[in-house]
Structure 1
């Protein structure tokens, strides 16, 4: 009997092993066959059709391998590389990509992009909704913002960031902060306790042998310096002092933006860093809730508490948004996602593009010399001597800046900023068509303009990074050349920076990334640092601009740059 039981168990186990092996083998075979069949079928569907030249073209779907997923894996890994290669292989200005069971029309032509972005018949896709929900933890803001439109309650964030008096107030506040803090970009304090938060983030170190020079990681230093100063302007000095690690959590959230946006969970093994994104977001939302509560109390003339008592210096942009949310009777937790998403949208773009602009300028000694010569009439760094002050110690360096003159008379500096956008950002704009739309290329886009017809309900992708790296539109697109944006007036002979070839700019969560606020902030931070500091590489080979770490929106460097910092005055 026992022998019989053992034999039966052995047969059962053998059957299980065979079935398991057969199941895995069969599953793999079915998967491979499905991929091959999908590629063959999509390839046949993608073939160039014979059509009447007088009739508009339709979007051809690019071939893909994976069922349902389509181009999704390649799109997430490197959307700019994928769409650029499809543009070249398809030979079309409009073509389809297949993502998660849906076809998206990809529009490459800038003239057609402008038509779609300016059309009232192309509404925003659920991108903002998905970002607010998955990245910023929204639960009810989207519904309430739609209700706000019905109640004629304005939430005009992009409008406020581009008009007076907000722009003048922002310029004055940023210049005042730079005058106080740019000389302390590194303080040469050896102890981290005595350093500013941006120095600790940038791993600043000073040696005993030469205390007038220090070493730092340039990206983390510039990002934190810009982020903290711009946060002070937007949110108030009390906010920055009361939440000193707010930016640390923001950078963690930013690093995990894509996996969070896709709705991945913290236990997903392919994304080891995402586990830090969830608690960072929770802390950020809690801080925003506390701040919203304190602001409402302050706005009512009630003491909000000792930590957040002084809120007079909160920017008009944030004040207006908080009051809008209050009109909608949003709770602190319900409004937190809206405040956090706006804050991230401004800070991440401004801080990263400032880093790229500064790094390119200091990596080219001739360009650095020309920039310093150009800004010398409107940006001056100085240090009064002991004889001038009559004190037995040195005064701290001083910065004088006329930002309006920088904007009007420093075309090379502005061109460096535009070229940094072109090389180091790859934003994507999304739209959903509410009616049929016929699009025709301009004569500038094509010698033989083609016309395409898109259908109502179709999703449209506009990859700005692909256009900005098109060799047919920008000569030597991999090369940093700010002179491509310099134009000379034929009558007066004066030079100016013209960003027309960059347009249309990519959408952020709240309108165009390149608005009046971000442009002024980036140019001010760049000019102030270039004027007051010498930045050289710790490597004998000189300062080298790092490669992009491809992500959505504004790129980070694949590897930080170790530099030496020294005051010029």
Structure 2
């Protein structure tokens, strides 16, 4: 009898022949069947179950279509919209979301969110994952003990909350704005004579009754703030020697979400390959800068290009010295420096843009804001008679940033309302032990309890809280007055960020810290005081729709505007 050949090579060849004979129609049919089966099975598993109201329950997993990927596609595309729709369909304060083969417990009840974020049994995961997936860390997290790494990052938040640091920030930002705010647009016709931020935002000059500049507003504001904050944080030498740094940072920012969730360089995802290339260049520059700082800090000449680093901020100096004490190489610590820099720059630039556009889109609000900030942010210009020159001098800015923060409740409320409408960060936690969550009576009439198990991964979506109609009336409307209260005794108006304060996390603690608040309000006040902004089309200026990204949102389309000085 002939024996059957069942060798491994024969089996492999048979499999190849089978695959080659499979048509695309068959493959598509299998894929569709798998998705339908996945949806049916996950739907059955998510059915409502009977629970003892006195005992904590386990969460239900939201149904999904794609095997292993789960809700991944929708999450990357618009995590806020996905989680809001799941919250409504599941009708529970805690539910499971399936991402890349893992279930993430999603907590949407504000009281429960606060419990998870303040609990000692949960550890933050977002920074570790961002360092490795987005910022290309290969050794920082692995080489440092987790507690030590957390301590280093907590030092950043601690420093930014100190009064001495806040005072230094106010002084530095005021000097920068008094020097550069009048150069937001220079009315130069030649690109050679333009500032870097003008060239990057395609500024053109047109003659009307007086010179008027046209520009892409988001690109202009982002580039202007990016250049000035980079100079403030990293020093003038850094910006002069690495002029392409910001362009690569914007590319990395556009691809943050897919990179964060593990996209690979070879995946056919739009823009991701450029995100990897931009990250490689950014890390290379950061490594060079770290080496130069180490030499400079030791009294060694780092080279003529980066010889003067004394004007670096204390925040960056302290962090670089800490990494040196830990004996991390410049390449190993580059991801840590890049992540801190990105966390500050992307948030400040975007929130400033959204605050400005909301103020200018409402003429009544613009008038009130200019009246309120007028004593502390003034734009003046000397006449030709006063200067004795046959041409006009640029406008001058007088800015008292500390009084602006203390004495302008409506202006500050505009900033808080912008944070609520145009940012939707996500906090990730991993539970070090079991945790029981109890819903407060403020969040629901019927108190529910949930038990989360040790090792479980938790998602806390801040954007869901920001758009909750139970917390904010007409949540889609821009209404800064919701953050203002009037003292019953004195009649004084007070502004508070309490409604959003627990839900504004970034990679390094709260986004609403001394640094970013002063930077955003300082840049916003200077632009509102010094410039008139109108739509280039002649129509009323309108707030553009936003595109959901990580942290602060990106406008779906830039605005072409006309700009001229207020004086």
Alignment TM class, shorter chain as reference:
over 0.9
Gaps of 5+ in 1: 1-15
Q: CA deviation at 1:155?
A: 6.3
Q: CA deviation at 1:261?
A: 2.5
| 1:19–1:502 distance in 2 versus 1, CA, 3 Å | closer
| 1:537–1:457 distance in 2 versus 1, CA, 3 Å | same
Q: Tell me the residue number matched to 1:12.
A: none
- Residue by residue over 1:545-565, the C-alpha shift from the partner in whole angstroms, topping out at 9 and shown as x without a partner, is 110112221111000000001
- Residue by residue over 1:157-196, the C-alpha shift from the partner in whole angstroms, topping out at 9 and shown as x without a partner, is 1111111321111110001000000000000000111011
| 1:321–1:77 distance in 2 versus 1, CA, 3 Å | same
Q: Tell me the residue number matched to 1:441.
A: 439
| Residue 57 in structure 1 maps to residue 39 in structure 2 | no
Matched residue SS, 1:420: helix
| Residue 247 in structure 1 maps to residue 246 in structure 2 | yes
Q: Tell me the residue number matched to 2:320.
A: 322
Q: CA deviation at 1:351?
A: 0.4
- Residue by residue over 1:377-425, the C-alpha shift from the partner in whole angstroms, topping out at 9 and shown as x without a partner, is 2111111223334445433311111111111111111111111111111
Q: Tell me the residue number matched to 1:88.
A: 88
TM normalised by structure 2 equals 0.93
- Corresponding pairs, count: 552
Cα separation, 1, equivalents of 2:367 and 2:187: 25
Equivalent residue runs for 1:104-503 within 5 Å: 104-125=104-125, 127-146=126-145, 149=148, 156-208=155-207, 212-271=211-270, 273-503=271-501
Q: CA deviation at 1:128?
A: 2.3
Q: CA deviation at 1:325?
A: 0.9
Q: CA deviation at 1:147?
A: 7.2
Given that 1:155 and 1:321 are in contact with CA atoms closer than 8 Å, whether structure 2 keeps it comes out as no
| Residue 44 in structure 1 maps to residue 44 in structure 2 | yes
Cα separation, 2, equivalents of 1:21 and 1:360: 59
Q: Tell me the residue number matched to 1:556.
A: 554
| 1:150–1:373 distance in 2 versus 1, CA, 3 Å | closer
Q: Tell me the residue number matched to 1:8.
A: none
TM normalised by structure 1 equals 0.93
Q: CA deviation at 1:207?
A: 2.3
- Residue by residue over 1:328-375, the C-alpha shift from the partner in whole angstroms, topping out at 9 and shown as x without a partner, is 112221111111111111000000000000011001101100100111
Given that 2:135 and 2:339 are in contact with CA atoms closer than 8 Å, whether structure 1 keeps it comes out as yes
| 1:270–1:360 distance in 2 versus 1, CA, 3 Å | same
Q: CA deviation at 1:495?
A: 1.0
- Residue by residue over 1:29-68, the C-alpha shift from the partner in whole angstroms, topping out at 9 and shown as x without a partner, is 3333332222222222211111112112321111112222
Cα separation, 2, equivalents of 1:535 and 1:83: 36
Given that 1:154 and 1:324 are in contact with CA atoms closer than 8 Å, whether structure 2 keeps it comes out as no
Q: Tell me the residue number matched to 1:512.
A: 510
Matched residue SS, 2:460: strand
- Residue by residue over 1:105-149, the C-alpha shift from the partner in whole angstroms, topping out at 9 and shown as x without a partner, is 110011111111111110112x32332122212111112332782
| 1:199–1:211 distance in 2 versus 1, CA, 3 Å | farther
Gaps of 5+ in 2: 1-15
**Superposed CA RMSD:** 2.1
Matched residue SS, 1:559: coil
| 1:359–1:42 distance in 2 versus 1, CA, 3 Å | same
Q: CA deviation at 1:217?
A: 0.2
| 1:155–1:414 distance in 2 versus 1, CA, 3 Å | closer
Q: Tell me the residue number matched to 1:4.
A: none
Matched residue SS, 1:305: coil
Cα separation, 1, equivalents of 2:348 and 2:315: 16
- Residue by residue over 1:281-313, the C-alpha shift from the partner in whole angstroms, topping out at 9 and shown as x without a partner, is 222112111111111111112222111111111
Cα separation, 1, equivalents of 2:549 and 2:144: 28
Matched residue SS, 2:144: helix
Cα separation, 2, equivalents of 1:162 and 1:134: 28
Cα separation, 2, equivalents of 1:551 and 1:256: 9
Point out 4+ residue stretches in structure 1 off by more than 6 angstroms. Answer: 16-19, 150-155
- Residue by residue over 1:508-540, the C-alpha shift from the partner in whole angstroms, topping out at 9 and shown as x without a partner, is 221222211001100010011101100000122
Given that 1:148 and 1:328 are in contact with CA atoms closer than 8 Å, whether structure 2 keeps it comes out as no
Cα separation, 1, equivalents of 2:418 and 2:281: 32
Cα separation, 2, equivalents of 1:351 and 1:266: 27
Given that 1:188 and 1:211 are in contact with CA atoms closer than 8 Å, whether structure 2 keeps it comes out as no
- Residue by residue over 1:212-267, the C-alpha shift from the partner in whole angstroms, topping out at 9 and shown as x without a partner, is 21100000000011111111110001111111121111111111222322333344
Cα separation, 2, equivalents of 1:151 and 1:425: 24
Q: CA deviation at 1:506?
A: 3.2
Given that 1:135 and 1:261 are in contact with CA atoms closer than 8 Å, whether structure 2 keeps it comes out as yes
| 1:152–1:410 distance in 2 versus 1, CA, 3 Å | closer
Given that 2:141 and 2:149 are in contact with CA atoms closer than 8 Å, whether structure 1 keeps it comes out as no
Q: CA deviation at 1:17?
A: 10
| 1:152–1:462 distance in 2 versus 1, CA, 3 Å | closer
Cα separation, 1, equivalents of 2:456 and 2:262: 23
Cα separation, 1, equivalents of 2:504 and 2:566: 37
